[in-house]
């Protein structure tokens, strides 16, 4: 992005009022164009938001963080450079590069790094922190030639690596991957010496743009893809299993098919992090079953569900897999080696992301695997992520039963031994509730997203409450699957947010959530902050059942009316109250 | 207007968005209250990037108006000063 374009984007008026992050850009240099590029890239990602970016004092990175008023910011963005660890590592200070000075620089950098860690620790639990570690080259302050690493340089790099490792212990901290930065901004093109001397801004415009883009990428709430549907022949493995047999297919060096093994390895990794993996293949089921029995296959059949193995169109398979997963096509990647199959699926599902597996091109296969990492990567893997595939399998069992509203399914419900644990409190216990609110679309009261600061701020209201529900039955645990947030005053509840994971549909959990609020928390009336969105159809259907009418504001439900329409429920209920 | 003037006008508009296109040719440190050191550094950076050209640091302090920038760039980049049809 050019600076002139960044200025235009940053100045563009916002059409609607959208949540706008309040960012504090902490750096020791003049923030100048980095501030502009950061604002522009944030605007480019969320055109209706008006990010507010504040900055601190020149030359005092740690002090700027220490002086922060946490209530006035949502995000702390840190651009650390070597000169922040010791001014002698920049060229605006002439403190000496004699051998003794350089030894002292390393010692003082250690002290500053510890101070920075303390400062971030003080804010890290409260706001999201995004940071980049030193991006500029070290100055020629060392006595070895440039091609030879000096012990002091090694010491400085160890200090930074240790700082990074400590910072990443905080769940709210995200740090720019140096490998990605190196791909997008070559080291030799980052430092603008003249600008550093004249204005105190050390970056070239290109580097400032890249850094602004990467920082904004960490600030932006990124929704990773949720599922990957893969072909088998010449994709998951090399060869045609129907022709070559289970023993004739390969994914190894000897068979010149190693990249298929690497692909399997990546899919297995994604599955372990909660990504749904399905198979759409034109084959005989028994032949594929034999292939999946091979012990050297790197992707376990336990990690794949469902497998659509038949001779029908791929788009039919994809449609069935999407219904089983209960997610939209826009959250799914379809990988196949055959361009015709990709085109057929793309025509049927315009929102699905199709990628061709480059079976005879290891370089492009490598690029595809890196793209998949970017598409599916998430800041951290939660307990719920690791339970996802098992819960999808059990959901399929549930879906084969009748609706919970019909008496014919009562025996099945009872036999599943369903248990809901409600956690009711005045303050959020962990970030999982907010994560669920920010990524749930279908059963979502109004689609509203929150920053960590907005979420925390809501609980300053003494009437605020948070109710979360965790579910388990004999088929397995689903983890935390529902979140309700609102205020409770004199028997009346104002429900601001209500989301439930799509994995938990059709189990009566939504009824139990409302029942808990009416019966256990003593409410007589619940008012819903309902807003229709393009994606919250399942929530709208549920509310229409409750209100038996058009959903017009204000949407209020009495206890009497709710209880009169409640179907039989068979869950065991446990309650943890944190009031 | 020449290509040079068009591009220079766009640079000024990006840094001083409150100015109309008619006001830009008369813009100077004296006529624009928000023309401070920060906006000057930004303007210089935008112009250098736009024209892919490094302004002589000795000259920089004298570039205190649209016309001063125009004259400096006309001398340095005469090929861009042809009038557009």
Q: What's the CA gap between A33 and A50, in Å, rounded? A: 17
Q: How far is B30 from chain A (nearest CA, A)?
A: 22
* Domain residue spans of chain A: 3-219, 227-376, 401-577
Q: What digits encode the pLDDT tens for the residues A383-400?
A: 777 777 777 777 766 666
CB A47 within 8 Å of CB A17: no
Q: What's the CA gap between A82 and A144, in Å, rounded? A: 19
Is a pLDDT exceeding 60 seen at residue A405?
Answer: no
Q: Which pLDDT score is estimated for A404?
A: 45
Measure CB to CB from residue A2 to each of B15, B17, B49 and give the nearest one.
B49
Residue B61 contacts A, CB cutoff 8 Å:
no
Q: What digits encode the pLDDT tens for the residues A170-219?
A: 988 999 999 999 999 999 999 999 999 999 999 999 999 999 999 999 99
Measured in whole angstroms, how far is the alpha carbon of residue A165 from the centre of its chain?
20
Measure CB to CB from residue A4 to each of B38, B46, B57 and give the nearest one.
B46
Q: Please name the residue of chain B whose CA is at the shortest distance from the CA of residue A12.
A: B17
Residue B39 contacts A, CB cutoff 8 Å:
no
Q: Which pLDDT score is estimated for A576?
A: 87
Q: Residues of B with CB below 8 A from A7's CB?
A: 14-15, 17, 42, 46
Q: How far is A53 from chain B (nearest CA, A)?
A: 16
Tokens of A384: 């719920």
**CB under 8 Å to A522, separation ≥6 — which residues?**
A491
Cβ of B49 and A36 within 8 Å? no
Q: Please name the residue of chain A whose CA is at the shortest distance from the CA of residue B12.
A: A4
Q: Which pLDDT score is estimated for A49?
A: 81
Q: Please name the residue of chain A whose CA is at the shortest distance from the CA of residue B8.
A: A4
Where is average pLDDT lowest: A52-56, A249-253, A363-367, B31-35? B31-35
Residue in A212, A202, A298 with CA at minimum distance from that of residue A2: A212
ipTM of the modeled complex? 0.87
DSSP state of A503: G
3-class DSSP assignment, residue A175: strand
Burial of A412 per CB tally in 10 Å (0-12, 13-18, 19+)? middle
Q: Which pLDDT score is estimated for A280?
A: 97
Q: Which pLDDT score is estimated for A475?
A: 73
Cβ of A7 and B41 within 8 Å? no
Q: Which pLDDT score is estimated for A520?
A: 77
Q: Which pLDDT score is estimated for A456?
A: 82
Q: How far is B37 from chain A (nearest CA, A)?
A: 10
Query: What band does A548 get if pLDDT is binned at 50, 70 and 90?
Result: confident
Q: What digits encode the pLDDT tens for the residues A79-135?
A: 999 999 999 999 999 999 999 999 999 999 999 999 999 999 998 777 899 999 999
Residue B68 contacts A, CB cutoff 8 Å:
no
Radius of gyration over alpha carbons of chain B, in Å?
A: 12
pLDDT over 70, % of chain A? 95
Q: Residues of B with CB below 8 A from A189's CB?
A: none
Q: Please name the residue of chain B whose CA is at the shortest distance from the CA of residue A5.
A: B14
Q: How far is B46 from chain A (nearest CA, A)?
A: 6
Measure CB to CB from residue A7 to each of B15, B38, B57 and give the nearest one.
B15
Q: How far is A442 from chain B (nearest CA, A)?
A: 41
Q: Please name the residue of chain A whose CA is at the shortest distance from the CA of residue B38.
A: A32
**Residue with the two structure tokens 């509840």:** A493
Mean pLDDT computed over every residue of chain A:
90
3-class DSSP assignment, residue A477: strand
Which of the following CATH numbers is that of domain A3-219: 3.40.50.720, 3.40.50.1110, 3.90.1200.10, 3.30.70.270?
3.40.50.1110
Measure CB to CB from residue B41 to each of A8, A11, A199 and give the nearest one.
A199
Where is average pLDDT lowest: A29-38, A388-397, A562-571, B43-52? A388-397
Cβ of A7 and B46 within 8 Å? yes
Q: Residues of A with CB below 8 A from B10's CB?
A: 4
Dmax (CA) for chain B in angstroms is 36
Burial of B23 per CB tally in 10 Å (0-12, 13-18, 19+)? middle
Which of the following CATH numbers is that of domain A401-577: 3.40.50.2000, 3.30.2130.10, 3.40.50.20, 3.40.630.30?
3.40.630.30
As separate numbers, helices (DSSP H) first and strands (DSSP E) second, chain B gives 3, 0
Mean pLDDT computed over every residue of chain B:
90
Cβ of A33 and B42 within 8 Å? yes
Element (H, E) at B36: none
Q: How far is A15 from chain B (nearest CA, A)?
A: 18
In CATH terms, the fold of domain B3-81 is 1.10.1200
Cβ of A205 and B45 within 8 Å? yes
Q: Residues of B with CB below 8 A from A201's CB?
A: 41
CB pairs A-B closer than 8 Å: 34
Measure CB to CB from residue B14 to each of A7, A33, A205 and give the nearest one.
A7
Residue B17 contacts A, CB cutoff 8 Å:
yes
Q: Please name the residue of chain B whose CA is at the shortest distance from the CA of residue A206.
A: B49
Cβ of B42 and A194 within 8 Å? no
Q: How far is A4 from chain B (nearest CA, A)?
A: 6
Q: Which pLDDT score is estimated for A72?
A: 85
Interface of A with B (CB under 8 A): 2-4, 7-8, 11, 32-33, 36, 194-195, 198-199, 201, 205
Q: What digits encode the pLDDT tens for the residues A278-327?
A: 999 999 999 999 999 999 999 998 899 999 999 999 999 999 999 998 88
Q: How far is A8 from chain B (nearest CA, A)?
A: 6
Query: What band does A408 get if pLDDT is binned at 50, 70 and 90?
Result: very low
Q: Which pLDDT score is estimated for A401?
A: 58
Task: Please compute the mean of the pLDDT values over residues A453-477 and round it to a whole number.
Answer: 86
Flag residues of chain B having pLDDT under 50. Answer: 85
In CATH terms, the fold of domain A227-376 is Rossmann fold (3.40.50)
Q: Which pLDDT score is estimated for A20?
A: 79
Q: What digits encode the pLDDT tens for the residues A225-281?
A: 999 999 999 999 999 999 899 999 999 999 999 999 999 999 999 999 999 999 999
Tell me, yes or no, if the two domains A3-219 and A401-577 fold the same way.
no
Q: Please name the residue of chain B whose CA is at the shortest distance from the CA of residue A31.
A: B38
Tell which of A4, A29, A55 to mutate to test the B interface (max B CBs under 10 Å): A4
Helices A99-124 and A151-167 pack at an angle, to 10 degrees, of: 0
Q: How far is B26 from chain A (nearest CA, A)?
A: 20
Residue B38 contacts A, CB cutoff 8 Å:
yes
CB A252 within 8 Å of CB A198: no
**CB under 8 Å to A341, separation ≥6 — which residues?**
A231, A314
Q: Which pLDDT score is estimated for A406?
A: 43
Cβ of A32 and B49 within 8 Å? no
């Amino acid at each position: 992005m050019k600076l002139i374009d960044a200025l235009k984007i940053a100045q563009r008026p916002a059409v609607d009022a959208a949540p706008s992050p309040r960012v504090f850009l902490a750096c020791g240099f003049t923030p100048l164009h980095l501030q502009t590029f950061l604002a522009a890239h944030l605007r480019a990602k969320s055109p209706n938001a008006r990010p507010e970016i504040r900055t601190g004092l020149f030359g005092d990175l740690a002090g700027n963080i220490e002086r922060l008023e946490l209530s006035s910011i949502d995000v702390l963005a840190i651009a650390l450079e070597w000169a922040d660890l010791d001014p002698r590592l920049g060229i605006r200070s002439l403190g000496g590069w004699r051998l003794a000075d350089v030894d002292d620089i390393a010692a003082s950098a250690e002290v500053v790094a510890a101070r920075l860690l303390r400062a971030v620790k003080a804010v890290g639990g409260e706001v999201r922190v995004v940071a980049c570690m030193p991006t500029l080259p070290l100055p020629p302050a060392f006595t070895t030639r440039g091609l030879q690493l000096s012990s002091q340089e090694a010491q400085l790099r160890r200090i930074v690596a240790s700082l990074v490792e400590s910072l990443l212990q905080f769940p709210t901290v995200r740090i720019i991957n140096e490998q990605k930065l190196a791909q997008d901004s070559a080291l030799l093109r980052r430092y603008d010496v003249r600008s550093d001397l004249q204005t105190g801004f050390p970056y070239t415009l290109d580097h400032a743009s890249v850094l602004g883009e990467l920082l904004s990428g960490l600030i932006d709430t990124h929704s990773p893809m949720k599922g990957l549907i893969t072909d088998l022949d010449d994709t998951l493995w090399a060869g045609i299993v129907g022709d070559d047999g289970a023993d004739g297919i390969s994914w190894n060096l000897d068979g010149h098919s190693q990249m298929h093994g690497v692909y399997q390895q990546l899919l297995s990794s994604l599955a372990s992090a909660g990504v749904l993996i399905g198979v759409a293949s034109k084959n005989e089921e028994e032949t594929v079953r034999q292939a999946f029995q091979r012990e050297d296959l790197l992707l376990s059949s336990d990690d794949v569900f469902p497998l659509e193995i038949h001779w029908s169109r791929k788009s039919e398979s994809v449609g069935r897999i999407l219904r089983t997963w209960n997610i939209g096509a826009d959250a799914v990647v379809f990988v196949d080696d055959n361009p015709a199959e990709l085109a057929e699926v793309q025509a049927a599902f315009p929102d699905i992301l199709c990628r061709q597996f480059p079976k005879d091109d290891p370089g492009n296969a490598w690029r595809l695997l890196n793209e998949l990492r970017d598409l599916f990567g998430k800041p951290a893997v939660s307990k719920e992520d690791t339970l996802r595939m098992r819960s999808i399998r059990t959901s399929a069992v549930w879906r084969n039963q009748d609706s919970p509203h019909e008496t014919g399914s009562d025996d099945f419900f009872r036999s599943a031994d369903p248990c809901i644990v409600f956690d009711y409190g005045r303050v959020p216990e962990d970030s999982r509730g907010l994560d669920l609110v920010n990524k749930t679309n279908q059963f979502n009261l109004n689609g509203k997203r929150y920053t960590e600061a907005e979420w925390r701020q809501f609980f300053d209201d003494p009437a605020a409450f948070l109710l979360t529900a965790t579910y388990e039955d004999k088929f397995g645990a689903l983890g935390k699957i529902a979140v309700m947030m609102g205020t409770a005053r004199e028997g009346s509840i104002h429900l601001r947010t209500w989301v439930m994971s799509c994995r938990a549909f059709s189990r009566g959990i939504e009824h139990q959530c409302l029942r808990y609020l009416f019966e256990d928390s003593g409410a007589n009336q619940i008012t819903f902050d309902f807003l229709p969105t393009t994606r919250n159809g399942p929530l709208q259907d549920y509310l229409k059942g409750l209100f038996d009418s058009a959903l017009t504001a204000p949407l209020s439900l009495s206890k009497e009316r709710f209880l009169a329409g409640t179907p039989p429920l068979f869950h065991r209920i446990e309650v943890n109250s944190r009031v | 207007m020449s290509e040079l003037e068009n591009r220079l006008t766009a640079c000024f508009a990006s840094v001083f968005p409150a100015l109309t296109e008619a006001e830009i040719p008369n813009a100077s440190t004296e006529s624009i209250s928000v023309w401070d050191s920060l906006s000057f550094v930004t303007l210089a950076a935008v112009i250098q990037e736009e024209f892919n050209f490094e302004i002589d640091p000795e000259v920089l302090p004298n570039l205190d108006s649209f016309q001063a920038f125009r004259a400096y760039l006309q001398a340095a980049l005469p090929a861009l000063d042809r009038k557009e049809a």
